[in-house]
Structure 1
């Protein structure tokens, strides 16, 4: 789902933002911060950028196919109407 490297980077940024006096205690907390972040982000209904791009491309292709099918249907309906009027 989410890139573990990005989670590590976020956890590291949070850890680095902690004041130096608390930093030694924070080093042990970095892995816990990662676990909590991963857990909370997994609860959210997010998709990765890659998954989003793939689905966007699928949707574009589907719309293109639908437009082609609609045009064919219109042509068939027009053809049927022309036959009825003859």
Structure 2
């Protein structure tokens, strides 16, 4: 999931850009904005970089195994066709 510090930082930056009249409500607005960001990001089904890297490594190993099996099948087919 997304690091809570990042959400706090983002909501703080957005609330700081508000006009002066709305900055009195900064605390409430910042809390609501953070909640909205968490909700929106949760719906996106994002993964962490670590999870992405693990799956990339798994995919690379799977591709290597597939290539080895394809080569093995090709060799066996060649043996069957050339007795």
Bin of the TM-score, shorter chain as denominator length: 0.7 to 0.9
List 4+ stretches of structure 1 deviating above 6 A. none
> What is the CA distance between 1:36 and its match in structure 2?
0.9
The Cα RMSD (Å) is 1.5
* Mean Cα deviation higher: 28-37 or 45-54: 45-54
**What displacement does 1:71 show?**
0.7
Alignment: residue pair count: 83
Mapping 1:6-85, distance limit 5 Å:
6-83=6-83
- Is the partner of 2:47 in helix, strand or coil? coil
TM-score with structure 1 length normalisation? 0.81
Farther-moved stretch of structure 1 (29-38 vs 41-50): 41-50
* Separation in 1, partners of 2:51, 2:19: 37
What's the TM-score once normalised by structure 2's chain length? 0.83
Q: 1:43: Cα distance to partner?
A: 1.2
